[in-house]
Structure 1
Amino acid sequence: MTAETHPAYLRRLGTWDAAAIVIGGVIGAGIFRSASTVAERTSSGAELLTLWAVGGLLTLAGVLCYAELGARRPQAGGVYIYLREAYGQLPAFLFGWTMALINYPGSVAAVATTFADYACSAVGLSASWVKPVAAGAIALIVAVNLFGISAGSRMLNVFTVLKVSAIALVVTVGVVLAHGQFGNVLATDATHALPPGAFLGALLPVLFTYGGFHYLNDLAGEVREPQKTLPRALGLGLGGVVVCYVLVNFAYLAGLGHAGLAASHAPAADLMRRLFGENGATLIAVGIACSTFGYCSIAIAGGARVLQTMGSDGMLFRAVGRIDPRTHAPQVALAVLGGWAIVLVISGSFGQLVDYTTVGEWLSHAFGISTLFWYRRRFRNEPSPYRVPLYPLLPVLFVFTVLGVIIATAVHSPSDAGMSLVLISVGVPVYYAWRAWQRRGA
């Protein structure tokens, strides 16, 4: 078979491009909004910063496991590939059914709407513009990515720099507002310390804010020297995110205080407003808009690679598995994912989809990491360019943490967890019906 008959992805992403994908995939709007939820569940700044650091370390354990998986199988598709090889087509299909067809486009629709909210607010447009702007943003991202990973990466790099600049601005403002009085930030009250049983509940929103680190593995087929680049980029990217998150929360505490942070619905805007007035709130709205736009770009690019891999496996229509021979981009998959996300934006039906698939997303992380045990047994004599340190402690720690998150989510939102399991289960008859249809058409 010639390369023209079966075009493949080109490895064009270097270490910094790949690290930007990690940073952009993790940092969306959450850190600018969810810190107040964590503050509500803690009694001091020291506890809050400890939670963000612990959440980062736990996520880093998962990232290191993903680094070994990506180095072992540096192909587009990420978790779908690992599940297919370790557990077979059905579990892999259920992952793709839940994530690539529901969670990814639902998340893109939700975050694109958040982008439009902030963008419209920053330029003074009315709420009636939110849906058109969100749909237009998705269409623009798809259009750029149709030209290949290089074009998409250049756009992403710009927005990653802008979002990190917004974080740097928030940190600077917090330090200025503290007037050198940093002792109060870490002050603790032993009489109101967080009980051990409440720790996981307070950790939940932290871990959710650290989500999104898996997108680089979806794009592994386009990373140069992946056995070296993937571990470096995942480590650098997630390490940078942890530093950003801890510093931003330190700034919130320095500028607003623990009680002020807990009472704030928009801590970044409130912090900026204290120093610059409404102009400051507008400025950070632009920064959040850039951050959310960058996330959408990564989710669309990564999700499309999962769809394309499923199509090439015959798990979707073959056209979805096509890679354009000129741009080496999965153009049909990009159009399908982007188009479905736009439908969700216009219909406004993405909110419950995202809630319903949260448990599915975390289950995919648990099962994805668990495939590492299969790879270690199945290929015990095969040298791996990267091995996760402290094996099997780190993968076991991450899997049990994720299972704890799932249980806590089910307790907190049983209806959402139940619907998530229903959506996954619906994929079983769909899988067998699809296979039967394929056999009849063969």
Structure 2
Amino acid sequence: MGEGSLRKRKEQDNRKEDGQSIQSQEPQSMNLKKQVGLISGICMIVGTIIGSGIFVSPKSVLANVGAVGPCLTIWAACGVLATLGALCFAELGTTITKSGGEYPYLMEAFGPIPAFLFSWASLLVIKPSSFAIICLSFAEYASAPFYPGCDPPPVVIKCLAAAAIVVITVVNSLSVKLGSYLQNLLTAAKMVVVAIIAVTGIVLLAQGKTQNFQDSFKDSKISVSSIGLAFYNGLWAYDGWNQLNYITEELKNPYRNLPLSIIIGIPLVTICYVLINISYFTVMTSTELLQSQAVAVTFGDRVLYPASWIIPLFVAFSTIGSANGVCFTAGRLVYVAGREGHMLEVLSYISVKRLTPAPAIIFHGAIAIIYIIPGDINTLINYFSFAVWIFYGLSVFALIVMRFTRKEFKRPIRIPIIIPVIVTLISILLVLAPIITAPELAYLYCVLFILSGLIFYVLFVHFKFKWSQKISEPITMHLQMLLEVVPPEEVAE
């Protein structure tokens, strides 16, 4: 920090006025506050997971396995894997009660280099690309009613997605409670469309529309590669199962609310996803589903008739709610990386007035807007999943390692060791299967980009070149004054 830094707020004026002494001031802790309870935690999980995935991925899962039976099996298996992974993260989150998700776990188990590589890949690719994909999905559904009979122009979709990113970023920068309340509201809205589709499917099944489920494993195309890619697309729809670990420091009673939110939230999502897919297949054959441009919209057109506009409206609510959850949690990852010195220090600062990690949230939103420009959603999903499961697997493996290397840690939740072993092995299979069976250069580029973070780690973190400090100090000073933020430490008010 330079001399002009606002690290310490101006000293209190101790002069006497009118013969009266101003009361001594006690330090106020400038840290993130515990404002997220059990209901908000469940809504954060459900609201972040149920987003664009269930309305985008069914086609891709079916295309990879080729039949109804394996498709439904993949959706249920993805839910089981997400639950097992989340239980591993529940132990990690209650053992190391720091925000930032995988970052502090990799730091404790393997040291700063793997943690830095995770923050490098997550901050510049994984999180903002996920945010961008979800907002692009929102824009497609939100603009569709205004262009009946044709696809909305790409420029309209991209502008609407950018506007959504800006609005969500501003909301989460202004208030933790406002972002949390918005998440609760949008989660309730998305459960409406989930209930409409699921209940409609159950009614149609009760009426005897089961012809599409006969010989459900016929014509299936099962291979290691197809199952791996099907899992990628299914797990994209479940992505967000670990989101509460990014805000552990803001959870009320995390030892109770973190595991409860997981145990309630993820099985609820799994049931919803399986029922929604069953509903799709009650009104569409496999061929029709694969030919549909928007599966949920086709379902609504065939079942709801004049009220079919309800589906794209609530799907838009669903995707914007998922985007809000991603923004809320990803901003905390940037905050923790800045606090540990792995990113610009100002990214770890907290708004004096609002107690939000505003610089981190704004940084995340700005990078996400960049990712709106190129955007092939299906390709991005595959490479997103490939990259993210490298770090999911490493984080769960960290749990196993710390059972032996950090025996002194207090573990309020201690899951059977077989669960992290299973999740680690599945993670390895998910990462290696597409590379071995259907190798593509893009996977190599993804690995090279992650490893390229080592160059920045050596230059800016390990050696801390003076010229980089000369650049960062004035940036930090001016951003502090502009955003009215201070370091997360005790300062006098």
- The normalised TM-score by structure 1 is 0.91
Paired residues for 1:344-383 under 5 Å:
344-345=371-372, 347-348=373-374, 356-383=383-410
Query: Cα offset for 1:175?
Result: 3.5
The answer to whether the aligner puts 1:400 opposite 2:425 as a matched pair is yes
The answer to whether the aligner puts 1:272 opposite 2:295 as a matched pair is no
Aligned to 2:133: 110
For residues 99 and 289 of structure 2, the distance between their equivalents in structure 1, rounded to whole angstroms, comes to 41
For residues 248 and 93 of structure 1, the distance between their equivalents in structure 2, rounded to whole angstroms, comes to 39
The answer to whether the aligner puts 1:254 opposite 2:282 as a matched pair is yes
- After the TM superposition, which of the residue ranges 209-218 and 173-182 deviates more from structure 2? 173-182
Output one character per residue of 1:246-266: Cα deviation in whole Å (capped at 9) or x when no partner: 110111122224443344342
**Preserved contact between residue 70 and residue 217 of structure 2 (Cα < 8 Å):** no
Structure showing the higher helix proportion among its residues: 1
**Preserved contact between residue 228 and residue 385 of structure 1 (Cα < 8 Å):** no
The answer to whether the aligner puts 1:39 opposite 2:62 as a matched pair is yes
Aligned to 2:350: 323
Aligned to 2:161: 134
**Preserved contact between residue 173 and residue 272 of structure 1 (Cα < 8 Å):** no
**Preserved contact between residue 44 and residue 186 of structure 1 (Cα < 8 Å):** no
Aligned to 2:250: 222
Query: Cα offset for 1:93?
Result: 0.7
**Preserved contact between residue 9 and residue 222 of structure 1 (Cα < 8 Å):** yes
**Preserved contact between residue 229 and residue 382 of structure 2 (Cα < 8 Å):** no
The one-letter amino acid paired with 1:232 is L
Aligned to 2:98: 75
Aligned to 1:338: 365
Aligned to 2:196: 169
For residues 57 and 355 of structure 1, the distance between their equivalents in structure 2, rounded to whole angstroms, comes to 20
The answer to whether the aligner puts 1:427 opposite 2:453 as a matched pair is yes
**Preserved contact between residue 48 and residue 240 of structure 2 (Cα < 8 Å):** yes
For residues 191 and 135 of structure 1, the distance between their equivalents in structure 2, rounded to whole angstroms, comes to 43
Output one character per residue of 1:338-380: Cα deviation in whole Å (capped at 9) or x when no partner: 12222332x3368676654432211010001111112222333
The answer to whether the aligner puts 1:146 opposite 2:173 as a matched pair is yes
For residues 272 and 218 of structure 2, the distance between their equivalents in structure 1, rounded to whole angstroms, comes to 30
SS in 1 for 2:284: helix
For residues 147 and 192 of structure 1, the distance between their equivalents in structure 2, rounded to whole angstroms, comes to 53
Aligned to 1:207: 235
For residues 183 and 121 of structure 1, the distance between their equivalents in structure 2, rounded to whole angstroms, comes to 31
The one-letter amino acid paired with 1:251 is S
- After the TM superposition, which of the residue ranges 295-304 and 168-177 deviates more from structure 2? 168-177
SS in 2 for 1:384: coil
- After the TM superposition, which of the residue ranges 245-254 and 207-216 deviates more from structure 2? 207-216
For residues 231 and 97 of structure 2, the distance between their equivalents in structure 1, rounded to whole angstroms, comes to 32
Aligned to 2:443: 417
Aligned to 2:11: none
Aligned to 2:114: 91
**Preserved contact between residue 95 and residue 410 of structure 2 (Cα < 8 Å):** no
The answer to whether the aligner puts 1:283 opposite 2:274 as a matched pair is no
The one-letter amino acid paired with 1:161 is A
For residues 148 and 58 of structure 1, the distance between their equivalents in structure 2, rounded to whole angstroms, comes to 33
The answer to whether the aligner puts 1:14 opposite 2:37 as a matched pair is yes
- After the TM superposition, which of the residue ranges 109-118 and 41-50 deviates more from structure 2? 41-50
Query: Cα offset for 1:422?
Result: 1.1
Aligned to 2:479: none
For residues 412 and 291 of structure 1, the distance between their equivalents in structure 2, rounded to whole angstroms, comes to 33
The one-letter amino acid paired with 2:132 is A
The one-letter amino acid paired with 2:348 is G
Query: Cα offset for 1:41?
Result: 3.9
Pair 413,174 (structure 1): closer, same or farther in 2 beyond 3 Å: farther
For residues 367 and 143 of structure 1, the distance between their equivalents in structure 2, rounded to whole angstroms, comes to 33
Pair 408,288 (structure 1): closer, same or farther in 2 beyond 3 Å: farther
Query: Cα offset for 1:89?
Result: 0.9
- After the TM superposition, which of the residue ranges 190-199 and 58-67 deviates more from structure 2? 190-199
Output one character per residue of 1:262-313: Cα deviation in whole Å (capped at 9) or x when no partner: 4434221111111234751x32111221111111111112111111111111
The one-letter amino acid paired with 1:225 is N
Aligned to 2:89: 66
The one-letter amino acid paired with 1:109 is A
Pair 6,322 (structure 1): closer, same or farther in 2 beyond 3 Å: farther
For residues 294 and 38 of structure 1, the distance between their equivalents in structure 2, rounded to whole angstroms, comes to 23
For residues 26 and 143 of structure 2, the distance between their equivalents in structure 1, rounded to whole angstroms, comes to 45
What is the CA RMSD across the aligned residues, in angstroms? 2.6
Output one character per residue of 1:382-403: Cα deviation in whole Å (capped at 9) or x when no partner: 4421112xx2221111111111
Pair 190,249 (structure 1): closer, same or farther in 2 beyond 3 Å: closer
Asked which structure has the greater CA Rg, the reply is: 2
Pair 202,308 (structure 1): closer, same or farther in 2 beyond 3 Å: closer
The one-letter amino acid paired with 1:393 is I
Pair 349,265 (structure 1): closer, same or farther in 2 beyond 3 Å: closer
Mark the runs of 5 or more structure 1 residues left unpaired by the alignment. Answer: none
Pair 425,322 (structure 1): closer, same or farther in 2 beyond 3 Å: same
For residues 185 and 398 of structure 1, the distance between their equivalents in structure 2, rounded to whole angstroms, comes to 33
Aligned to 2:322: 295
Pair 180,349 (structure 1): closer, same or farther in 2 beyond 3 Å: closer
